[in-house]
Amino acid sequence: MYLLTEEKQLRAQLNTELQIAKNRLDQLEQNNECSCSQKTFSAFWVGLDGTINTLGEYQRILFNRIKLNIGNGWQAAHGIFRAPSTGTYQFSLDVQSDGGATELAIYHNGVMLKRAFNDHNMYISVIVNLTAGDEVWVNHVANFGHAIIGDDWTNFSGHLLHAV
């Protein structure tokens, strides 16, 4: 009889400890949920349908061939990327010109981030912190410039590296 009573007490104690462990596991799983799925992922890749033969001073380049637009940040009508969420972004510009001197730059809310000057091809890459709603675009900088070759020769892209 004594053994039966002791066994019942041990079973009750084990059930209590098991329930405590299950509750703790549930609590850990809830606290450890990845918040990444709650952040907006954003990436775009755009190009030009054709060649831009004449470049004006500080002319915005209107990339109109949308190859990728996850998060709908690229606004083709205005030639801008509008950040859908706050975080760190990387942007890349790859340009092929027709053999004459051309100078282009990547801008963030009206401030030049980085520019490049070359006779045939150029590449720019920047990493920048953006707040949701910030705008990034590409401008021709100089008061001279030759044609920018379109199709698959000139591309602008960007993506969210880390959401805040």
Global confidence as pTM: 0.75
- How high is the pLDDT of residue 13? 81
CA dihedral 145, 68, 64, 122 (to 10 degrees): 10
| pLDDT one-digit tens code per residue, 62-84 | 999 999 999 999 999 999 999 99
Q: Across the strands, what pairs with 95?
A: 122
List strands edge to edge, sheet with 121-130: 65-70, 43-48, 151-163, 87-96, 121-130
- How high is the pLDDT of residue 77? 94
The DSSP 8-state label assigned to residue 35 in this structure reads G
* Measured distance CA(111)–CA(113) in Å, rounded: 6
* Measured distance CA(100)–CA(120) in Å, rounded: 7
Q: What percent of the chain has pLDDT over 70?
A: 90
- How high is the pLDDT of residue 34? 54
Task: Decide if pLDDT at 133 tops 60.
Answer: yes
Does residue 44 sit in the same domain as residue 91?
Answer: yes
Does residue 17 sit in the same domain as residue 43?
Answer: no
Domain coverage including residue 125: 38-163
Q: Structurally, how many domains does the chain consist of?
A: 2
As a whole number of Å, the CA-based R_g of the chain is: 28
Q: What value, to the nearest 5°, has the Cα angle with vertex 140 and ends 139 and 141?
A: 105
- How high is the pLDDT of residue 26? 75
Does residue 26 sit in the same domain as residue 42?
Answer: no
- How high is the pLDDT of residue 67? 96
Q: Are strands 135-140 and 80-82 parallel, antiparallel or unpaired?
A: antiparallel
* Measured distance CA(69)–CA(66) in Å, rounded: 7
| pLDDT one-digit tens code per residue, 10-54 | 777 877 876 887 778 778 777 765 555 455 799 999 999 998 888
Here the tokens at position 3 are 């053994």
- How high is the pLDDT of residue 48? 93
Q: What is the CATH number of the domain that holds 65?
A: 2.60.120.40
Report whether 163 contacts 36 (CB < 8 A): yes
When the pLDDT of each residue in the chain is averaged and rounded to a whole number, the result is: 87
Does residue 60 sit in the same domain as residue 94?
Answer: yes
